[in-house]
Chains A and B, each alone.
Chain A
Amino acid sequence: MSESGKPAASRVREHSEYLFKQFAQTKDPELRAELVNAHQNLVHYLAAKFANRGEPLEDLISVGNIGLVNAVDRFDPNRGIKFSTFATPTIVGEIRRYFRDKAWSLKVPRRLQELNQTASRASARLLQKLGRAPTIAELAQEIQASEEDTLAALELANAYETVSIDAPQSGADGSSTTPGDTIGSEDESLGKLEAYDDLTRALESLGDRERSILYYRFFNDMSQTEVAKRLNISQMHVSRLQSKALKRLKQLLTK
């Protein structure tokens, strides 16, 4: 059979096989470029299948080409499989990884994900048309959703990408803080306030003399002897009353 009698596809394939054999030996960058260009339609074909997922087709073709270049580099023409069969997993893998990396960090209802995409596209469109950022009402009207839904959709942009709690963020004054620093913690003095209230009630249930002893001893830092002198009783008595009062307080507070 003469060369011209063969179908076009067959001739193209033979030529590409020849190029691959050459490239496998020489690793010539020009051959590589020619092979990558020769298989553009494969990348376009695959990338088109992943369109309508919210990423521009051009981006998908770009990442698909990364896969194609890798496939061209690794293809062994002597293994007897077609290049398109060999390259498909690599190209699709690259495109899917792109989607995975772009994936939402938080699980968001699909309806709102789509609304978010519609809203951000509409927002860009209106920005150009109006020459300023659109109001929520304008945006809601543009995407035919309620203002509340529009707001929710815009808020979702935050869920698309999350920030590590330890990620340093430089402030305007050059200081570096992390989101973790700005998170509130439980106020310990609130617990103290409660304990203080309990203690006040418990103290009220004590006798006058016992309360006075505790007051002098622990609030005025007086010694037992000083307290004894003040109340005109023996130091032994003070000690006894004090331990009795403390025991009673303990009982009341652990109830």
Chain B
Amino acid sequence: MTTPIIELRVPCSPEYVSVVRLAVLGLCGRIPLSYDEVEDLRLAVGEACASSVYRASQVDSNNAHIQVVGAVDSARIVLEIRDDVPLAPETESTEEDSGLEADFDNQQFRVSLMQLLVDSVEIGEAEGGGQIVRLVKNCELNG
């Protein structure tokens, strides 16, 4: 498949998440998705970025980056959100202590939210040791 690949690399900090979301909006213009489907995908991408930003804040890595790699064809849009923040071993205790908010503002919660919003969510470890979130949104309108 020779689909053009789009790449975007931004600093791993909250203010750049909106840049990624905006870029995704532009990308979605190339595929016949409805307004709400586009918004769902953007929300999922935002969650994936938030996960990277959150982890970066936990380990104090100031020069971390988020890299978004996307491919769009007529049937679906595939986005990979990679970061270079080392995957921390799952620590229950830190989340337990940070109040009730942490009860749902955590990694697992984000994953389940993403799964509700797009057709496929895969999470793995990137080559450099960071996280890689692969989101797929199918285009049902396209026949």
Q: Which residues of A contact B (CB under 8 A)?
A: 7-10, 12-13, 41-42, 45-46, 49-50, 53, 82, 84-85, 88-89, 92-93, 96, 99-100, 103-104, 107, 110, 113
A-B contact pairs, 27 of them (CB 8 A): A7-B96, A7-B97, A8-B100, A9-B98, A9-B100, A9-B102, A10-B96, A12-B100, A13-B100, A13-B103, A41-B100, A46-B113, A50-B39, A50-B43, A84-B103, A85-B108, A85-B112, A88-B112, A88-B116, A92-B113, A92-B116, A93-B116, A96-B116, A99-B36, A103-B34, A107-B34, A113-B35
The listed residue (B29, B98, B105) touching A45 by CB distance below 8 A is: B105
Number of interface residues of B (CB under 8 A): 25
Contact (Cβ within 8 A) A103 B36? yes
The listed residue (A12, A89, A92, A100) touching B36 by CB distance below 8 A is: A100
Q: Which residues of B contact A (CB under 8 A)?
A: 29, 34-36, 38-40, 43, 46, 96-105, 108-109, 112-113, 116-117
Q: How far is the CA of A42 from the CA of B117 in the complex (A)?
A: 17
Decide if the interface of chain B is mainly helix, strand, loop or mixed: helix
Residues of chain B with a CB closer than 8 A to A46's CB: 113
Contact (Cβ within 8 A) A84 B109? yes
Residues of chain A with a CB closer than 8 A to B99's CB: 8-9
CB distance from B78 to the nearest CB of A (A): 21
CB distance from A87 to the nearest CB of B (A): 9
Contact (Cβ within 8 A) A82 B103? yes
Residues of chain B with a CB closer than 8 A to A99's CB: 36, 39
Q: How far is the CA of A82 from the CA of B35 in the complex (A)?
A: 32
Contact (Cβ within 8 A) B113 A88? yes
Considering the complex, give the chain A residue whose CB is closest to the CB of B39. Answer: A53
CB distance from B46 to the nearest CB of A (A): 8
Given A96-B36, A99-B36, A103-B34, A45 contacting B104 (CB threshold 8 A): yes
Q: How far is the CA of A100 from the CA of B37 in the complex (A)?
A: 10
Interface centre among A10, A46, A110 (most CB of B within 10 A): A110
Residues of chain B with a CB closer than 8 A to A13's CB: 100, 103
CB distance from B2 to the nearest CB of A (A): 28
Residues of chain A with a CB closer than 8 A to B113's CB: 46, 49, 88, 92
Residues of chain B with a CB closer than 8 A to A8's CB: 99-100
Q: How far is the CA of A82 from the CA of B106 in the complex (A)?
A: 13
Residues of chain A with a CB closer than 8 A to B109's CB: 84-85, 88
Q: How far is the CA of A110 from the CA of B38 in the complex (A)?
A: 10
Q: How far is the CA of A7 from the CA of B112 in the complex (A)?
A: 26
Contact (Cβ within 8 A) B116 A103? no
Residues of chain B with a CB closer than 8 A to A12's CB: 100
Residues of chain B with a CB closer than 8 A to A104's CB: 35
